[in-house]
Structure 1
Amino acid sequence: MWLKKKKTQEQVKELLNITIRNGQIALAENHNSFQTRAESSLKQVLDAIAMGVPEKEIIFSLNTGDFPVKKPVKGDFYYCCERKEDLDFVFPDFIFDHWKQAGIPNFGNTVSEISEAAKQPYDYERMLWIGNVQTNIIRKKIIQYSEKFPDLIEAYDTCVDQVVDGKKDIPYISLKDHTKYKYLIDIEGRGYSGRIKMLLFTKRLLFIQERQWKSYYHFELEPYKHFIPVKNDLSDLIQQIEFTESQGENYYDNITQNAYNFAVENLRYEKAVARIKKLISGL
């Protein structure tokens, strides 16, 4: 087995091709995957194989980009999909292993740190968002809201990779420190969001913007049970914050506990690997 990194001239620019024979990886080809996405996903596949897969040749491709580039067909997998009907093509993403470049050296350790910090009361009775506004024009709106409603929203334009690399003039708030805020919001970037699964561990009320691309577990999250929904253009964000405020602390506590319970039950590395085993065993 070897991991070969090479560029491709095909339409798909970010691709991990894997062949399994006799319960072992026979070939892994990495076509221009961003950072260490391919390496992390390959580790997950190896752990899935260790759980037991059929003794037959299994060939598949994992598209490691932020969104699907074509209609899924058997043997193609993505980190997200648009419709529930396409869930059989959706892998758990690479972040279940790590995303060191974004300050997540190990997923399990990171969510443990978040869970521990979540035991403390929040410090700030407002919403936090921090991210790169260049990846989606809608993200600029949250910055505008924070300027207009500073008592309700705190938002920062940052590129976390640069901060982790040592560029200290850019704002940075760790995922663990997100628990210092009463409300959190996830806003789509270039494609699917890898951050939602970690925010669900914070025991802070999470607002999720409607979006096209969704991770596999997204379809199991229920509005007003696990999170507060917000329109894609954020036009109802202030209204939704005010609605939540009017419902009282019991309402807040119920939703945040539901979200935390869901995360603990469903969003662990072992669960992600078990899903991969099931998906590739079905090929």
Structure 2
Amino acid sequence: MLLFILEAKLDDDYYPSRVLSVLHQIDRAIIASPEPVPDIEFSIVITDLPDEHTTETHSHHTFWALSRLPHDRNIWLLPDFGYWSWPLDLVGSYEQIRVEMIQNQLAWEDKVPKMLWRGALKTNKLRQTMYWATRNKVWADVEEVKWQNRTEVSAGSTASAISMVDHCNYQYLMHTEGRSYSGRGKYLLNCGSVVIMHKSEWIEPQQDVYVKSGADQNIVEVERDFSDLDGKIQQLLKDPKLARSIAKNSQKTFRNRYLTPAAQACYWRKLFRAWEEVSFRPEPFETVNGRARLRGIPFETFV
């Protein structure tokens, strides 16, 4: 199987990098596959919201997207663009981030015993609720980061902005949703820290392996109004053995297994095979001037 692009609609300068990052992942999954992948044809949406304008736009159509709500039965989840690269100096390529996190990893006892969060508050009211719920808490290091544009932090926020790798220097990391899902989750789950997240509205691919209690617990979940956040943080601070166990389980589950590039390639190939079972078999060729020609633009040419 080769990757061909049949049609691309990019009406925003911000989206080409997302598209290319997703296509690079698909191409890697195809090239690295130990067996042939099926011939399929599909549509992907790379905006934060599966449909930016109206729910009627994709009525009766099934497509692949970055996240979905529980009732979005026609949306299939794909790994987001960040699993390849994010066009920000504070983030970077996924493999670069993982390598630097491992290289600079601190022992649990050497990490800052506080909960860290950085981000834009206006993106989601939940973030504002979390911000005010953590004001003047000695265990919280929560600050707003304002953006000058989509890729540059404003001058006033430079001092408070923290790279994804340096997030790992904290024992506790807060994860909140953004416009829909938030792409930071996968980075935080690579840290080997305790990731705290509110009950989610938007579904991401890795959520099936979240364990919220018991011996295998790998995340800490709080209410969407953060009313129980202080209590759960206090419990973790008083029981460092429990906190270390959750962090260890998180590292084992996410950084060492489900969020590796190899696991992401496997996810893509499973997605290809599942799609083949419910979709039509496309005709790869078209006739032009009496000769058969593969439809679309080759990935290498499109890039």
> Is the TM-score greater than 0.5?
yes
How far off its partner does 1:161 sit? Answer: 7.3
Which among 23, 30, 38 is matched to residue 49 of structure 1? 30
Residues of 1 paired with 2:174 and 2:59: CA distance? 30
Paired residues for 1:159-170 under 5 Å: 159=146, 165=152, 167-170=154-157
Paired residues for 1:1-283 under 5 Å: 23-32=2-11, 34-35=14-15, 36-50=17-31, 51=33, 53-54=36-37, 56=39, 58-69=40-51, 70=55, 75-83=62-70, 89-101=76-88, 103-120=90-107, 121-149=109-137, 151-159=138-146, 165=152, 167-170=154-157, 171-224=160-213, 225-246=217-238, 248-263=239-254, 264-281=256-273, 282-283=275-276
TM-score by length of 2: 0.76
How far off its partner does 1:279 sit? Answer: 1.4
CA contact (8 A) 1:201 1:260 kept: yes
Q: What's the secondary structure of 2:116's corresponding residue? A: strand
Q: 1:215 to 1:102 in 2, by over 3 A?
A: farther
58-67 or 154-163, larger mean C-alpha shift: 154-163
Q: What's the secondary structure of 1:213's corresponding residue? A: coil
Q: What's the secondary structure of 2:141's corresponding residue? A: strand
Q: What's the secondary structure of 2:168's corresponding residue? A: helix
What's the RMSD between the two structures over aligned residues? Answer: 2.7
Residues of 1 paired with 2:30 and 2:113: CA distance? 46
Structure-1 residue corresponding to 2:287? none
How far off its partner does 1:187 sit? Answer: 1.1
How far off its partner does 1:73 sit? Answer: 6.6
Q: 1:122 to 1:83 in 2, by over 3 A?
A: farther
CA deviations on 1:134-157 (whole Å, 9 max, x unpaired) are 1011211232233232x1211111
List alignment gaps of at least 5 residues for structure 1. 1-21
Q: 1:153 to 1:54 in 2, by over 3 A?
A: closer
- 1:40 maps to a residue whose letter is S
CA contact (8 A) 2:45 2:65 kept: yes
Paired residues, what number? 259
How far off its partner does 1:82 sit? Answer: 3.1
Q: What's the secondary structure of 1:135's corresponding residue? A: coil
Residues of 2 paired with 1:55 and 1:245: CA distance? 50
Which of 1 and 2 has higher RCO (CA within 8 Å, sep 6+)? 2
TM-score by length of 1: 0.81
CA contact (8 A) 2:38 2:272 kept: no
Q: 1:180 to 1:55 in 2, by over 3 A?
A: closer
Q: 1:235 to 1:48 in 2, by over 3 A?
A: same
Q: 1:72 to 1:113 in 2, by over 3 A?
A: farther
Work out the percentage of aligned pairs sharing the same amino acid: 20
Residues of 2 paired with 1:230 and 1:164: CA distance? 30
CA contact (8 A) 2:133 2:226 kept: no
235-244 or 127-136, larger mean C-alpha shift: 235-244
Residues of 1 paired with 2:171 and 2:143: CA distance? 16
CA contact (8 A) 2:90 2:162 kept: no
CA deviations on 1:90-134 (whole Å, 9 max, x unpaired) are 111110000022632210110221233333444432111110001
136-145 or 119-128, larger mean C-alpha shift: 119-128
CA contact (8 A) 1:60 1:76 kept: yes
Q: What's the secondary structure of 2:21's corresponding residue? A: helix
Q: What's the secondary structure of 1:235's corresponding residue? A: coil
CA contact (8 A) 2:199 2:221 kept: yes
